[in-house]
Structures are given as C-alpha cells and as structure tokens.
Amino acid sequence: MNILDSRPISKACVCSALLLALMASGEAVAQGLEEQQHKRGRLWENVRNDGWIGSLGAWDYLVSSPLGLFPGFDGYFHPVGGEENAIDAYANANMHNFRSGCWIVVKGMLVPGTPPDFLPTPAEYEVFLSGLQEDPYGEAAQREPLQLQQNFIEAEGFNPLLPEEMIDGRWHTNTGITVNRRSYVWSYPAYRDFIIYDYIFKNTGAMVSTLTGALMPDFPQQTLNEVYFVFHSGVSVSTKSQINFHSELTAVQAGAFGWQPGAYHDFYHRFDNDELLFSTNFNGGKEPTPFDPFPVKAGQAWKQKFGEELQSPAAFGWLSLYASPTGAAPRTSAIPDFVRIDSHKGGTLNGQGNDLEFFRLSSSKPKKLFYDFATTTDFQPALGNNGNRMNFYTLSYGPYTLAPGDSVRIVIAEIAGVMDYNEVIAGDPNGHFPDSTIAAIRRNAAYAREAVRWGLGANVNGLPLAADAPEPPPGPAVDAVNTSIGTEEAVIAITWDQTAETRTISDGAGAVFYDGRNDLDGYRIYRSTDFQYVSDTEPPVFRGAAWQLLLDIPKSEFDQYFDQSLGKYKYEDRSVSFGFRYGYYVSAYRRMPKPWTSANGTLVNNLPELASGDYNRTPPTSAAPGPVASFDIYAAPNPYVFNDAVRSFGINDPYRIEFRNLPERCTIRIYTISGDLIRTLEHQPDARGNLSGSEAWDQKSDSGLLVAPGLYIYHVESKTEGLQNALVGKLMIVR
C-alpha cells in the first residue's frame, strides 16, 4: 500500500501486505491446494477452497490471477506487485470480478463456546462469510484441496456426459453446514462465455470453531430454522480502461476496480425478473467518462498502444439458474428471494451509510447487520443508475429450514457477453455498443439456462450433474508454417488432421450422436491479426478475440485439400503480407445435428448448427521471404516511424524492423553512428528447419533495452556455404 494513500489501514491491506511479502521472498502460495483456475472457455476465473471466487489480492495489485478475465488469453498483462506498479501503466487484460463469494446467514443456533470446553452456546445470529474485503470468516483452518478435472472433447477418453472442465471444492463452516461447489466450463461456441457454479449446502453438523478454526468432535446435531444462502459479488467493467486512461494513482487504486466514486464508470442492468444482473461500462471504454475527475494520459496516449479499440466493451454479471424450494411448494423460477444492487461507496443500510469496503466483521459490524443485508431487497435508488456506479450484486435465497442431513441446492452462473470483436477493435464505428453487448449476454444466458435444463437431475458415475451441452465435432489439430518461396509472394500453409472424421460421441441415452465418418459437414478456416500491447520492450501478445473467415470447405471438396504426402489437409493462405503475424484455427462443423438425448434424459430436437471453437488456434506465424543469393539486402521500413501506417508494422507489432533478401545463414550486427555494437542477430533456419530470407529486429539491444531513436549502421556478413559476402547499410529510427 502506498504510504501516501489516505485510506485507513484495514485487515485486507495487512493481509495484502503479507501476501506481497511472501511473493517477494519467493515463498509460493500453494495454488494447487487452495486455488485453481478455469481457462478452457473465453471467461477465465480464479476459485478458492474457502468460498472465494476471485482473490483478495485484487485490492492492491498483488496477484496476476485471471479475475473474471474476459476474453481470456495466454500472455495477458495486468499490473502486479503493488499499486505503485499501476501508476501511468498499461494493461491488456479486461478483469471484471473485483471479489465474489458465498455467505451462510443463520438466525438462532448453537455455536461452540470458548476453549477448552467449546460448550454449545446460543447465538442470535451466526454467519459464514467469503468474498468480502477480508479473509473468510467461519471456514475450517484445514480444508480439502480443490480438484481440477479436465475432459477435453479432442482428447482420448472424452466423456460427453461431463463438462470439459470441472473444479470441485468442499469446506466445512461455523454453521454446521458443509458446502460442496462444483464449477462447469465448456469451450463450445454458445457455451464458452459463462461458468456454472453448482452449490450443495448440507447440514452435516460438522461444526467449525471460529476461535480455533478446528472441527468440533461430537458437537450436537441441530435443526437450523432460518437459513439464508447468499452470493455477493463486486463487478467492475473493467479495469483495462481505467488503467490505460489514467496517469496517477488515485484513479486506479483497489486494483483499478474502483476505490472512490470518481473512478466508477458502470451502469447496472436487470433482466428476466432479476434472474440476470450485469454491468456495462459508461461508453464501452471508448474514452474517459465526461465526469472523470482524474488526470488522463496526455494526447490520448493509449491509442498509440491499442488504436481505436474499445477498452471495456463487455457485459459482466450473474445469472440465477436453480434454487431448492424454501417450503413444500415447488419453486417455479430461479429468481432470488432477495436482490441487492449496491455501489462500493455511498449506499445505505437500515437508514445508515454503508461503505462496502468496511462492511465486514473486522470493522466491528454486528452479525445482525449481515442478516439485515441478506434479507432486504434494495437497488439504492438514491444513487441512480447513471453510469457512475461500481456495482455489488447480492442474491439471497431463503429462509430455509434444514434438519440434520438436509441439503439445499443452488445453481448460478458467472456470465459475460460482448459485441463482435472486429467492431470492438475498430472502435465501434456503427455505434452498436451497448445494445449488441447486451444482446450477447442475454443470448448467453439463454444458452446457460438450456444447459441446466438438460443436465440438472442427472447422475453420472455417482456425480450429481447440474448442466449438459450438446457436443460439436471435435476440433482438429492445426499448424501454420511459412511456405513463401523467394521474395515475390508471401504464403502461409495451414494444415490440420482428421480428428473430426475419426471420432464418435454418444449421448445421454447411449446412442451415437456424432459419427465423424458420416456427420461432419465441413471445415472453416479462420485467421486473426488481433494482438495486444504488452510493454515497450516486449512484442505484442496474440489475443485472438477477433477472427475473419478465410474459407469454408464442404465435405464434397475435402479431396481437393488433402495432402497425401502429409496425411493432412492443407490450405495455402496467399492473402498475407511479409513481416506481419497471423493466427489461425480450423473449425469442424455439423449443419443439422440429429436429435440428442441430454445427460438427464431430455430429448432435444432441432438443434442449431454445432461447430468447434478456437481452442486449437495456432501460435502466431509470419510470412517470410525465402533466402536469396543476390545480397541485395535492405531494412524495412526505413526510415522507421513509430505507429505510422506506412513506415511501421502498426500497433500489432510496433517496434518490428526486418532485414530482407538475406542468404540462408548470416550474422547481422547493428551499431550506433559512433560505432558502438548494440545488437547481434544470427540468421539461420528456425527450430523446425524452415528457411527464410528475413530477420526481425525488435529495436532492443543485446541487454534487452529499447534503443533510442536516431541513425544506426548495420553490417551483414554471410555464413552461407559458397556465398562469401558482406554489406553495410544505414537505418533511421524516428519516434
């Protein structure tokens, strides 16, 4: 925490400081036991075995975990290591989940008294709390490790009755209720933008002492007569715009999710009788809000890194999917019994101000206040809904009565949605935000409801299932390599295997739902040039959120693209340019699926087209000219002009300079105008034996520092057998 920060020191900050100290000392937090991460879909999230979804370390940039990261991608960057690292910084990650967790609120029960006897003692209110701005309250000190199960559709042994990714957690609490949470993720288009959480709360009588964190042996069983199960989540859409727009600390404190009201920038939305609650940014992150009081980076500097791209284009929130009835009558919907939408600061509770930063037991809040909070519907109308809130969503279910052995099941989803990313990158030229983004999250909510309708009630090998989704054809393994010949034409060859043609997938009735020999209808090849800035000393990372269709190959044309010598399909992309990077994936599709029986026995007719997603994307590949013997070597662009549309490779590779018309092997030495050697490049075939006639320079010295603008000398010496030659040239860098 910055010593100039005027915020009171809290327990959360103390815990954060301890976490930072552990990180600095190299003592690792045992993520394999306490934390796991979902990364199979487009929504990436961190879950813990104490009720948390997210991380307390979000507050002061103490973790780099994906916290409601949407879209998720390898190599994402969010400042980490303390809030001072976020000052005048840039982020490429859209984090959305500030902090989330579940509560159990009980009115009237027996709790363990003081040690050593721990005598049963009446308590007017007891609470288990997670996801607040402090460590969880009421969990056992020793907890079972989280279990991550991966069941990928393209892998051998795939079980179609289970999701592609599950994380199981189980923990005892100070209420005698044991929590089982199972989370579900798919990569399938239509089912990849949400995470379903299946909670089973059971009155096991396994009682935890809040004084010792230990389980109490032989604590008397009891019927709990007024129990509420609560899901509480702080959402900010999103951190990326807040960090990238601003040049000082106050605007981006609290992990850039929003500390003080001046930094708030969201609307809230309520749909489907409050089953679906979510936030959107004031303007999609197109520019700072008109009411932003904090200094922004001069000259809209973020556009030099990200172009016109909307910085915060997504909708993000929560969807209620199922809840056990509170009495004998069946529950006809998943609508929570109580709903709150508060803002981080400025709200009220029981007629008094309620600052959610300090809404916690460590700030001397009585347990009754959490009962009042959980049993009151309130949207804080005095705060309005004008795009200047940092929203906290609270979904409460109850009251329930749980006799020993009774259980309650609640299913919810963390859910996102976003407009077409090609339009996001272009800066929303047609003004589709927020309508297209809202339509996307509502569409995803409909898919999540279908998944629960098709899975709830099923039992797979003793595992009670909450959701199921129809499988697309498995995606093939894909590769992309430079196959340019000479210097005239840039070509990248995309190859893929026949996985989608050799697999069979059964449905919930045991019948064959997909037989690749008969049911595959075609392949579609997609290309992406969606890269994201990381830093001035690192090349942009491949995000791959925006794709363009290159080619649709129906089954009748498979023979035209099958390469017998490779035993694979092959397509040559000749619409690329030398020096630019491209990512690819191949989707296998099925136009008219047959009727499908889900895991719980539901017969589903008239399914739409099913197609595999982009999990099989290739690493970025550049088209490079072939080696030449003419020694007509040159640098491109020359002069290099930073971010110039003609004199640079643009924001997707802003510092790239290429030496072209190179022989097969040579050494390139780059000098300052005064003769100091700053970089040596060895040009040779790559690790796969591919030859090229170009070599890229990232404008960094051998020590890894970005060189200054100015005039440079380069010397190229051939190491190719039979070609002994050398050349000296000049190169100008303008920034």
Q: What is the mean pLDDT of residues 40-66?
A: 96
- Select the more confidently predicted residue: 685 or 189: 189
Query: What does the pLDDT read at residue 159?
Result: 98
Over residues 449-461, the pLDDT tens digits come to 999 999 999 999 9
Average pLDDT, the chain: 94
Q: What is the DSSP annotation of 382-413?
A: GG--SS-B-EEEEEEEEEEEE-TT-EEEEEEE
Helix (H) or strand (E) holding 354: strand 352-354
Tokens 């990569």: give the residue: 187
Query: What does the pLDDT read at residue 636?
Result: 95
Q: What is the largest CA-CA distance in the chain?
A: 92
Q: What is the mean pLDDT of residues 559-586?
A: 97
Using CA atoms, how far apart are residues 526 and 689, in angstroms rounded to an integer?
26
Helix (H) or strand (E) holding 132: none
Query: What does the pLDDT read at residue 40?
Result: 98
Over residues 429-444, the pLDDT tens digits come to 999 999 999 999 999 9
Query: What does the pLDDT read at residue 685?
Result: 86
pLDDT over 70 percentage in the chain: 96
Over residues 642-675, the pLDDT tens digits come to 989 899 998 888 999 999 999 999 999 999 999 9
- Of 310, 232, 242, 313, give the one whose Cα is nearest residue 280: 313
Residue 486 class from Cβ within 10 Å (0-12 exposed, 13-18 middle, 19+ buried)? exposed
- Of 51, 139, 132, 143, give the one whose Cα is nearest residue 98: 132
Residues 6 or more apart whose CB falls under 8 angstroms from that of 291 comprise 262, 388
Query: What does the pLDDT read at residue 163?
Result: 98
Over residues 318-351, the pLDDT tens digits come to 999 999 999 989 999 999 999 999 999 999 999 9
Using CA atoms, how far apart are residues 472 and 468, in angstroms rounded to an integer?
13
Q: What is the mean pLDDT of residues 181-199?
A: 99
Query: What does the pLDDT read at residue 303?
Result: 95
Query: What does the pLDDT read at residue 157?
Result: 93
pLDDT over 90 percentage in the chain: 89
Query: What does the pLDDT read at residue 2?
Result: 32
Over residues 194-251, the pLDDT tens digits come to 999 999 999 999 999 999 999 999 999 999 999 999 999 999 998 999 999 999 999 9
Q: What confidence tier does 485 reach under pLDDT thresholds 50, 70, 90?
A: confident
Asked if 375 and 339 count as a contact pair (C-beta separation under 8 A), the reply is no
Q: What confidence tier does 25 reach under pLDDT thresholds 50, 70, 90?
A: very low
Average the pLDDT over each of 16-30, 119-133, 173-187, 363-377 and give the range with the smallest value: 16-30
pTM of the predicted structure, to 2 decimals: 0.90
Over residues 124-133, the pLDDT tens digits come to 999 999 999 9
Residue 401 class from Cβ within 10 Å (0-12 exposed, 13-18 middle, 19+ buried)? middle
For residue 673, give the amino acid letter: I
Q: What confidence tier does 24 reach under pLDDT thresholds 50, 70, 90?
A: very low
Query: What does the pLDDT read at residue 691?
Result: 78
The SS3 assignment for 124 reads: strand
Query: What does the pLDDT read at residue 671?
Result: 98
Q: What confidence tier does 8 reach under pLDDT thresholds 50, 70, 90?
A: very low
